[in-house]
Amino acid sequence: MAVDFGKMADLLIAGKVEDVSNMTQEAIDEGLDPQEVLQNGLIAGMDVVGQRFKACEMFIPEVLRSAKAMSAGMDKLRPLLSESQAKAAGTMVIGTVKGDLHDIGKNLVAMMFEGAGFKVVNLGIDLDTQVFVDAVKEHKPDLLGMSALLTTTMPRMGEVVNALKEAGIRDQVKIMVGGAPVTGEFAEEIGADIYGANAASSVDKGREAVGK
Amino acid sequence: MESIMPDMQPMNQTVQETPQFRVLTEDQIEQIYFAALDVLERIGSRVHQDEALELFRNSNEAVVSEDKRVRVPASLVERALKTYPRKITLQGRNGKRSVALQKDHVYFGTGSDLPFTYDRKTGERRRTTYKDVTDAARIVDALPNFDFFMSHGIVSDVPNPQTYDRHQFMAMLEGCTKPMVVTSVDGEGLEDLWKMACLFQGGEEEFRLSPMFVAYIEPISPLTNDHSAVEKLLFAAEKGIPAMYTPCPSSGATAPATIAGMLVQSLAETLLAAVMCYLKNPGMPLIMGGVTTVMDMRTTTYSYGAPELSLASAANTDISKWLNLLMFSTGGCSDSKWLDEQAAIESTLSLLTAFLSGANLVHDVGYIDSGVNASLESLVMNDEIIGMVRQVGKGIRTDDEGLALKVINEVGPGGEFVTHDHTYAHWRDWFFPKLMDRSDWETWNSEGSKTMSDRVNEETQRLLDTYEPQPIDDATRKGLQEIIDAAEKRHSK
């Protein structure tokens, strides 16, 4: 019996984490192409979630449930995807800069990117500049996301950009910054690539910037 | 978790889930009530209608003077007051029993008969038409926070001012399926409207069980009852049509300049109507009313935005509950000529106060220009305000699920609640804005930097373009038209 991708997408839209995970496993066991499962099941569902969110028909708690379901499916698929396919889904490193213990905004962005199929390395909060540099070297992400809620910690984001330049790896990665006091002008000033005004638009802009 | 939250039943607790709000103490209410009884015994109220005067004379208790002044002893007033129903359930033309008037049930609706309208195409201020009333009716039918409909505007494009009320009711019925409050020219007009409603309801008896409308009737302050108002009231009493006899005094002009004095006088006006209805048909469904406000001392305007309107109305509601009468109150209205910041401020204050007071029917929502100009946009804006006000009224649960100690423990320091099942189970309890903008600046800017006024206009247009109410079936429509035609024929002579 063939796996019904429409049903898989519906389960994902409904935020059924376990069901999506199980159904992804079934699809794998049936020997379906993992890339096909990803595109026609998971991503098809998340696309609907994105549209409904924009139309105010779905709200953050529901979107995050769907994102979690997506992420659960991706965990099953990722080991089976070819290197290029896995790469195609995207990788992101994200963290809150030194001196700032604010977690939630950055976590929301991380969860939304997982929902978009990205592999997200969430470094945490209050991070030394060197931690970001090391993570970029290690994970070779498409995107580096940095967050600050305080005007006093905002300048740390510029320091990370400079440190990446000094390490010669600035151009390997697109840099995204966000947080309540951050603006598009500030992002430009410190040499970041993308300003994310909110979790949803961060995902849109991030995907566009890295072509995912 | 059980170790953190011992299973115990708290003692000596006052637990409430909704805000409590009162303006008058019971002693103050009694002072006002006894003063009103005194007004009826010593001063009386003038009644310009023969049948009513006859009823008072025949009571052998009320005293009718040569100058048509009626004075009533307290014993008769108190006997009358015992007869009124504490519950009236209204239904719409769709058959839904959607408005259950009883203590502390609050419903919101429009006002009626606004002579002017801003034309949405030309922006010009012009007389209100049949179509304007139908448009207002559709919008009220579509908006979830409106529970009943009054005509909003007065139809000016009709053959004869003496029969306008039948056409106006028809315009209301075309657009709206919700219960209504209606105005009428006189007793004959009210009879026609009642017959029209009975067509939907399958007869008089059904109407009496769950009426489709309440008749709006008002005395003239101070202490005067004109012929047509009394005629309507007596007809309503005879047929068991719910009616409010709502004094509209303006403090400092047609009532004392003190709020307590205005309350005494308007209560005396109400009590006289209560006795009159009792003498006609004990137990008819009378609803207490009162648009109690001040006359603005610079402009002489009867103010719809004054804080005194809200305060006096809330006090009146306290009195109505003490008397076991249902209450028709006022809110969501403004003196502003345009739907602007003033309109939003005044509407919000009066809606919140009326809601917290627990009045049953809160009318005049959407009035601008002190009850002169109609505004569809104001209806749309006020729907959002009522949504917010109702949210405040929900109060706070403090049971185990509400206190969420288990959840706080599970998430712990530095965690997040956004993906927790508890959040998923409860976020829908919140108010979800349709018109209030909470986006970040960049999103707001990129979507056209729209102001509240822009959003209200767009939503109004969207509703006008898309909303279609449940239609009236052909047989009923034919019956309605016959009643209207017969009225035209009678009055064309």
Q: Which residues of A touch B (CB under 8 A)?
A: 59-62, 64-65, 68, 101, 103-104, 107-108, 111, 183-184, 195, 197-198, 201
Containing A209, the helix (H) or strand (E) segment is helix A199-210
Determine, for residues A59 and B427 on separate chains, whether the beta-carbon distance falls below 8 Å.
yes
> At CA B473, angle to CA B470 and CA B479, rounded to 5?
130
Q: Domain range for residue A26?
A: 5-85
In the three-class reduction of DSSP (H, G, I as helix; E, B as strand; rest coil), residue B216 is classed as strand
Q: Which residues does chain A have within 8 Å of residue B418's beta carbon, measured at their own beta carbons?
A: 60-61, 64, 104, 107-108, 111
The pLDDT assigned to A141 comes to: 96
Number of domains in chain B: 2
Whether residue B377 lies inside any domain: the answer is: yes
Residues ≥6 apart with Cβ < 8 Å to B246? B216, B217, B218, B289, B290, B291, B328
Determine, for residues A197 and B443 on separate chains, whether the beta-carbon distance falls below 8 Å.
yes
Q: Are residues B405 and B439 in the same domain?
A: no
What's the rounded Cα separation, in Å, for the pair B231 and B235? 6
CA distance to B137, B143, B206, B210, B476, per residue, from B470 (Å): 12, 14, 21, 20, 13
Rounded percentage of chain A residues whose pLDDT exceeds 90: 72
Q: Are residues A156 and A133 in the same domain?
A: yes
Convert the pLDDT of each residue in B211-226 to its tens digit. 999 999 999 999 999 9
- Predicted model pTM: 0.91
Determine, for residues B439 and A68 on separate chains, whether the beta-carbon distance falls below 8 Å.
no
CATH code, domain with B128: 3.20.20.480
Convert the pLDDT of each residue in B331-384 to its tens digit. 999 999 999 999 999 999 999 999 999 999 999 999 999 999 999 999 999 999
Q: Are residues A81 and A94 in the same domain?
A: no
In the three-class reduction of DSSP (H, G, I as helix; E, B as strand; rest coil), residue A121 is classed as strand
Q: Domain range for residue B291?
A: 19-395+431-493
Is the pLDDT score of B118 beyond 90?
A: yes
Name the residue facing A61 among B423, B439, B440 (closest C-beta): B423
Whether residue B254 lies inside any domain: the answer is: yes
Q: Are residues B127 and B84 in the same domain?
A: yes
The pLDDT assigned to B7 comes to: 63
Q: Is B440 on the interface with A (CB under 8 A)?
A: yes
Is the pLDDT score of B2 beyond 50?
A: no
Q: Are the C-beta atoms of residues B145 and B393 closer than 8 Å to each other?
A: no
Q: Are residues A69 and A95 in the same domain?
A: no
What's the rounded Cα separation, in Å, for the pair A36 and A42? 9
Q: Are residues B269 and B360 in the same domain?
A: yes
Determine, for residues A197 and B414 on separate chains, whether the beta-carbon distance falls below 8 Å.
no
Is the pLDDT score of B8 beyond 70?
A: no
CA distance to A156, A187, B103, B425, B470, per residue, from B420 (Å): 31, 32, 38, 9, 41
Number of domains in chain A: 2
Q: Are residues B263 and B297 in the same domain?
A: yes
Q: Are residues B425 and B436 in the same domain?
A: no
Q: How far is CA B422 from the centre of its chain?
A: 38
H-type alpha helices, B259-404: 259-280, 307-322, 341-357, 376-393, 400-403
- Better pLDDT: B6 or B28: B28
> At CA B51, angle to CA B66 and CA B69, rounded to 5?
30
Whether residue B12 lies inside any domain: the answer is: no
Convert the pLDDT of each residue in B389-448 to its tens digit. 999 999 999 999 999 999 999 999 988 999 899 999 999 999 999 999 999 999 999 999
Asked which of A50, A69, A85 is the last residue of a domain, the reply is A85
Q: Are residues A171 and A94 in the same domain?
A: yes
Q: Are residues A76 and A100 in the same domain?
A: no
Q: Are residues A95 and A74 in the same domain?
A: no
In the three-class reduction of DSSP (H, G, I as helix; E, B as strand; rest coil), residue A91 is classed as strand
Q: Are residues B136 and B79 in the same domain?
A: yes
Q: Which residues does chain B have within 8 Å of residue A104's beta carbon, measured at their own beta carbons?
A: 416, 418
Is the pLDDT score of B265 beyond 60?
A: yes
Convert the pLDDT of each residue in A33-63 to its tens digit. 998 999 899 999 999 998 899 888 999 999 9
Q: Are residues A156 and A187 in the same domain?
A: yes
The pLDDT assigned to A101 comes to: 87
Q: DSSP 3-state helix, strand, coil percentages of chain B (rounded to 5)?
A: 45, 10, 40
Q: Which residues does chain B have within 8 Å of residue A196's beta carbon, measured at their own beta carbons?
A: none
Give chain B's mean pLDDT: 95
**A121-130, B15-24, B129-138, B310-319: least confident range:** B15-24
Is the pLDDT score of A210 beyond 90?
A: no
Q: Are the C-beta atoms of residues B154 and B114 closer than 8 Å to each other?
A: yes
Mean pLDDT of B163-181: 98
Q: Are residues A71 and A99 in the same domain?
A: no
Residues 441-480 of B with CB under 8 A from A: 441-443
Name residue, tokens 């007809």: B235
Whether residue B3 lies inside any domain: the answer is: no
Cα nearest neighbour of A60 on chain B: B418
Determine, for residues B442 and A59 on separate chains, whether the beta-carbon distance falls below 8 Å.
no
CATH code, domain with A112: 3.40.50.280
Convert the pLDDT of each residue in A156-174 to its tens digit. 999 999 999 999 999 999 9
Q: Are residues B280 and B391 in the same domain?
A: yes
**A54-58, A80-84, A106-110, A133-137: least confident range:** A80-84
Is the pLDDT score of A1 beyond 60?
A: no
In the three-class reduction of DSSP (H, G, I as helix; E, B as strand; rest coil), residue B108 is classed as strand
Rounded percentage of chain B residues whose pLDDT exceeds 90: 94
Whether residue B14 lies inside any domain: the answer is: no
